[in-house]
Chain A
Amino acid sequence: MSTTMQADPATPAGSAAGLKPVRSLGDRSFQLLALVSGLLVLAILVLIAITMSQQSSQWFTSEGWSGIFSTDWDPAHNKFGAMTFVYGTVIVSVIAIVIAYPVSMGVSLLLNEVVPRRWAQPIVYVIDLVAVVPSVVWGLWGFLIFVPWLQITVYPHIASAVNDIPILGNLFGFLNGNYVSGASFFTAGLVLAIMIIPIVTSLSREVIATVPREDKEGAYALGATRWEMIRGVVWPHSQAGIVGATLLGLGRAMGETIVVALLMGSSPTITSHLFTPGYAMPGVIANQFGEATVGVFRAALIGMGVLLFAITIIVNLSARAIVNRNVRRIRGTA
């Protein structure tokens, strides 16, 4: 593969007309190969949208718009309303980011502003460890150890303590009688939070790193303590970006399958009580796909996959827009 500048023998030496580069077949095929690889991404995304929508069309024709979003999920009786699962996905993911946002913010501020550079590395390794644990292992530990522990030693006490307080009681109190479940909205949300904290932290750190050093020095020069500097200078600069990073975590939490399949209790319910079982879209798909061999049942599960696809794309788009705008504005790079 080489480029040769071939002078056309018919043109007099020194004229520019004969110096057109001739690119060998190898060069062009390499470029083509690279282009095709890049286009794969587009192709796959488009295919996902088209083929999966096709496969789930039966669901739509059988239920119609109102049916799809009804809360009635009963495969035995041909009822396939997905509302309870949408609700479950939303609730569990919101719990995850409500917990992850402050923790990630604290850890990223710790790493960027408080800890001397040498000590930051081990802490980053620990965070990477959290990220590398496979979700199925979180699910295994969660189901066999965490859930029973919560059910016996934690939730009952919290529930009885707050049961009669107006709003807290609705969230964390008992649903019927003295019933709380270890496998519940809150448990799934909690474990999801742990799983998304590494990525939210890593992105938040990038955002916080863009705060100009001069601004920080300006605050210190006025006699501010470290916390006062963070609140006065770092916070305003990075707020939007951290929100974007958290939204990205939201997208991840919504798509996570095993945790919601194992730790949510697998009961399609809409309730405000977080210590009771629920169900989310990826969970029901994973758990019930084996039984859904053909027909509307399978179409419904695939259809929920399409729904999940659409929702996570929208969330991710907004998140990236916010993060990129914040990071690039200050870095000035394209």
Chain B
Amino acid sequence: MEQPEQDVVEQTVSANLPRLETRVQPPSTVPGNTIFEVRNVSIWYGSFKAVTDVSLPIYENEVTAFIGSSGSGKSTVLRAFNRMNDLVPGARVDGEMTYRGADLYARGVSATAVRRRIGMVFQKPNPFPKSIYDNVAYGPRINGIRGKAQLDEIVEKSLRGAALWDEVKNRLKQSGLALSGGQAQRLCIARTIAVEPDVVLMDEPASALDPIATLAVEDLIRELKQNYTIVIVTHNMQQATRVSDRTAFFSVLTDSKNDTRTGILVEHGSTQKIFEDPQDSRTQAYVTGRIG
């Protein structure tokens, strides 16, 4: 497990910690390819430094969870992977972020091309005001696929992949807005995988859903990781332990002298290690619920 180079790191012995009473996945086998490599990345919104000096790897076909309190920069880092921060005026990324070896922020890199390969599911399900079919077909259509037979096939495949096909197969023409929260979110997932991305980013995908829908989405995530790499931001620690192979813990660094706050990456590693044997006291405090 790598320790990020920070000035403020306390090594503590975890012998006195109570054991976490949740089911934690055993560490997966040796991590495969590195999909993302993040090196000393800081992200600014104008003059506000949202996140400072983050470094971590993301491995293929794994689920990596970003956990941490509000304002610690988890979503900011997530959005940097598919260049969604570009939509915010004044956003800037320092440091290096590579995807399969290619620098995501190099000159000449097209954000559109990046997003085609790195998809995103949002916290609030956002189906388009179109039919279920057209929602899923939107991505393939803008990528040039026009043939009806082809689109039909893609739509079915994606809806099956999102575990939604059986529920909607007879009402594909119905508006996507008519679906319940859990179904709508699975529709958004189907829409995302319809363009056959490499990676699926998820920003608190289940936080707006009821518990049953949440479990359905979590099951889906476990299935999806066979074919995709998944990075998920979550507020729910139990969720992180249920679905993820790897976990990264973010926190807020307050500089009381300048009255500034910024997000930092405290620790990352296999989920089991982070939850059962964290190295940093702040991680310890968070995962045992002592702090938010």
Please tell me whether chains A and B touch each other in their complex, using a CB distance cut-off of 8 A. yes
Q: How far is the CA of A215 from the CA of B124 in the complex (A)?
A: 10
- With an 8 A cutoff between CB atoms, is A236 at the interface? yes
- Taking CB atoms, residues of chain B closer than 8 Å to A74 are none
Contacts of A96-143 to chain B: CB distance below 8 A = 116-117
* B residues near A218, Cβ cutoff 8 Å: 122, 126, 128, 188, 191
Among A201-209, A223-231, A244-252, the stretch in contact with B = A223-231
Instruction: Tell whether B82 is near chain A: CB-to-CB under 8 Å.
Output: yes
Assess the A222–B142 pair: CB atoms within 8 A.
yes
State the Cβ distance, A173 to closest chain B Cβ, in Å. Answer: 39
How far is the CB of B117 from the nearest CB of chain A, in Å?
8
B124-157: CB near A (< 8 Å → 1, else 0) gives: 1010111000000011001100000000000000
Neighbour of B112 across the interface among A116, A214, A223, A237, CB < 8 A: A223
Q: Are A232's CB and B126's CB within 8 A? A: no
Classify chain B: how many residues form its interface, as a range.
Answer: 20 to 34
The CA of A217 and the CA of B130, in the complex, are separated in Å by 16
Q: Measured between C-beta atoms, what is the minimum distance from B114 to chain A in Å?
A: 8
B191: which A residues are within 8 A, CB to CB? Answer: 218, 222
Judge whether A219 is part of the interface by a CB distance below 8 angstroms.
yes
| A214 contact from B114, B124, B130, B192, Cβ within 8 A | B124
- How far does the alpha carbon of A201 sit from the alpha carbon of B191 in the complex, in Å? 33
Q: CA of A218 to CA of B187 in the docked complex: distance in angstroms?
A: 12
Residue of A116, A117, A222 near B138 (CB, 8 A) is: A222
A190 at the interface (CB under 8 A from B): no
The answer, yes or no, to whether A220 is at the interface (CB within 8 Å) is yes
Write the nearest CB–CB distance from A230 to chain B, whole angstroms.
Answer: 12
Which A residues are in CB contact (< 8 Å) with B119? 221-222
Partner of B128, one of A215, A220, A223, A225: A215
- Report whether over half of chain A's contact residues are helix, strand or loop; otherwise say mixed: helix
B120 sits at the interface (CB 8 A)? yes
Cβ–Cβ contact B84 & A223, under 8 A:
no
Give the distance to chain A from B200, nearest Cβ to Cβ, in Å: 10
A223 to B142, CA, bound (A): 9
Interface: B116 (CB within 8 A) = yes
Residue pair B142, A221 in contact (C-beta under 8 Å): no
Q: Which residue of B lies closest to A222 (CB)?
A: B139
Selected contact of B115 from candidates A116, A117, A220, CB within 8 Å: A220
B89 at the binding interface (Cβ < 8 Å): yes
Partner of A221, one of B113, B115, B130: B115
Whether A223 lies near B138 (C-beta < 8 A) is: no
With A and B bound together, what is the CA distance between A219 and B115 in angstroms?
10
Q: Are B128 and A221 in contact (CB under 8 A)?
A: no
Asked if residues A232 and B128 are in contact (CB atoms below 8 Å), the reply is yes
Q: Is A222 touching B89 in the complex (CB atoms < 8 A)?
A: no
A contact residues around B8 at 8 Å (CB): none
Is the CB of B87 closer than 8 A to any CB of chain A? Answer: yes
B50 close to chain A: CB less than 8 A? no
Within 8 Å by CB of A222, from B124, B129, B192, lies: B192
Point out the residues of chain B lying under 8 angstroms from A228, CB to CB: 142
**A233 on interface, CB distance cutoff 8 Å:** yes
Beyond A221-B120, A223-B142, A224-B142, whether A236 also contacts B115 by CB under 8 A is: no
A214 to B208, CA, bound (A): 14
Contact with B84, one of A117, A215, A221, A236 (Cβ below 8 angstroms): A221
Within the complex, the shortest CB–CB distance from B189 to chain A, in Å, comes to 12
9 inter-chain pairs at a CB distance below 8 angstroms, sorted by A residue, are A218-B128, A218-B188, A221-B122, A223-B112, A223-B115, A223-B117, A223-B195, A224-B112, A232-B128
Given contacts A218-B191, A233-B128, 16 further A-B contacts (CB under 8 A): A116-B89, A214-B124, A215-B126, A217-B120, A218-B128, A220-B84, A220-B87, A221-B82, A221-B119, A222-B116, A223-B114, A223-B116, A224-B112, A225-B112, A232-B130, A236-B129
Residues of chain B touching chain A, judged by Cβ–Cβ distance below 8 Å, are 82, 84, 87, 89, 112-117, 119-120, 122, 124, 126, 128-130, 138-139, 142-143, 188, 191-192, 195
Pairs A-B, 3 closest by C-beta atoms: A223-B116, A221-B120, A214-B126
